[in-house]
Amino acid sequence: MRARLPAEDSIESWLSAVGGSLGGLLLELDDERFAAALEELGACGVEAVPALRAAEQAADRVRRKRVRRMLHRLRSHGVDVGSALRAGSVPGLRPIAREAERAFATFIDPGGQRLLFLLVPVRGETRVYEVLVSDVRGVLQVGRFEARRREARGFERELRSRDGVFEIPAGGARALIAGFARVEAGPGAGGVAPGVDPVLLTELLAGARAGGPVPGELARERLSGRELSGSSAERALRVRFERGRLAAWLPATSVVEAAQHELASVRDGVLVLSEPQQRERERTLLARHAERAFDPETRARIARRLEESAWGLLEGDDEEGALAALCLTDRVQGSETPLEVPLLRFLFESALGLARAPEPERSEGGLILPGL
């Protein structure tokens, strides 16, 4: 439908006239075209709700689940999916509803940084904000450019196709940015880097949609009542780190370098130690530096990263990984010493280069050479 419309026509006005009758046509599409049509409808906001509600009656359970996920996405953007359904088809002369804002985020990198993108429709165009934030140093960069609606939709499709990028509610994105701006980044910094334009930041955070649930809260709401054992959660999350789905969050460089220096002194020093004595010295040394690396503030920060990452994993249809991330937040902040928490131990050993890689599989009947 979008491809056949004249450039000056709005697909939203056509959806207003067609209403729920489009839902039956959606169900006749093959899986690939059905998924693409859902994404197009999701970009149309409230006008797409009658069609989505009609498609929600699909006999196929997988399709019903995908439609409900799209309705949940619209609801998280403030769209009243219930009232749109009750109203049914809307007269074509009704004023077109304002296009919904969109927001996207990347997963958190090893140093605690991520990119946020906010797409705001303004006077027939779309204003795109690109924000680099750190949960340690605050707001680092804010950029803005104007794009025509068609260009903005192309950019949105590009974001959706990228690995490691996921959608978040626009209000939640603003709430995150406002929180990062309050991070203490040093004397007088106030959580905002010196090069950030304060007028642009104020513009970005202004408006009625300045507040909203952050991704971690949405993840907890979606997975409410689900449980996963601690050992299963640890294993599942470690797999995500090892496969690069999540970046290993590294402790402070100064702590890591000090631990590496002392480890080298124990192993290469002039003092001759038996093997058990050396292992005990290394354990004591690692435990002391791990306490420094994972102080209460850092542990709370890692717990927040787990919550925020859970929403990204959910958006990528990885419910097990999301549930594992949420299940470990309390243990990360608990009373156990850092090396007693497998996730913290893995992060610390990864920073030191000590994390043990999975053992390679042995081939049957392989030739075993002496000394190898």
* Residue 323 reports pLDDT greater than 80: yes
Comparing 347 with 6, which gets the higher pLDDT? 347
- Beta bridge mates, 372: none
The residues, any chain, with a CB within 8 Å of residue 160's CB and separated by 6 or more, are 39, 104, 167
pTM of the model: 0.65
Report whether 328 contacts 321 (CB < 8 A).
Answer: no
Q: Which of 200, 174, 185 is nearest to 135 (CA)?
A: 185
For position 13, what pLDDT does the model report? Answer: 53
Sign, Cα dihedral of 144, 146, 151, 152: positive
Top mean pLDDT of 10-14, 94-98, 204-208 is at 204-208
Confidence label for 133 from pLDDT (cuts 50, 70 and 90)? very high
Range with top average pLDDT, 78-87, 273-282, 343-352: 343-352
Distance CA 237, CA 341 (A): 13
Supply 100's token pair: 């919904």
pLDDT tier, 344 (very low <50, low <70, confident <90, very high otherwise): very high
Q: Say what the pLDDT of residue 320 is.
A: 93
Six-digit token string for 313 = 């994993």
**Residue 15: predicted pLDDT:** 56
Task: Look at the block and give the residue holding tokens 């042995």.
Answer: 362
Model confidence at 371, pLDDT cuts 50, 70, 90, reads very low
Q: What share of the chain is helix, strand, coil (3-state, %, to 5)?
A: 55, 10, 35
Average pLDDT over residues 55-66: 77
pLDDT per residue as tens digits for the range 143-193: 999 998 889 889 999 999 998 999 998 888 998 898 888 764 444 444 888
Answer whether 316's CB lies under 8 Å from 163's CB: no
Q: How far apart are the first and last CA of the chain?
A: 65
pLDDT digits (tens, 9 = 90+) for 294-317: 999 999 999 999 999 999 999 999
Do 97 and 45 form a contact (C-beta atoms < 8 A)?
Answer: yes
CB crowding 322-336: b at 16 or more within 10 Å, else e = bbbbbbbbebbbeee
What was the pLDDT predicted at 63? 81
Write phi, then psi, for 243 (nearest 5 degrees): -90, 0
pLDDT-based confidence at 211, cuts 50/70/90? Answer: low
- Assess contact for 70 and 52: CB atoms under 8 A: yes
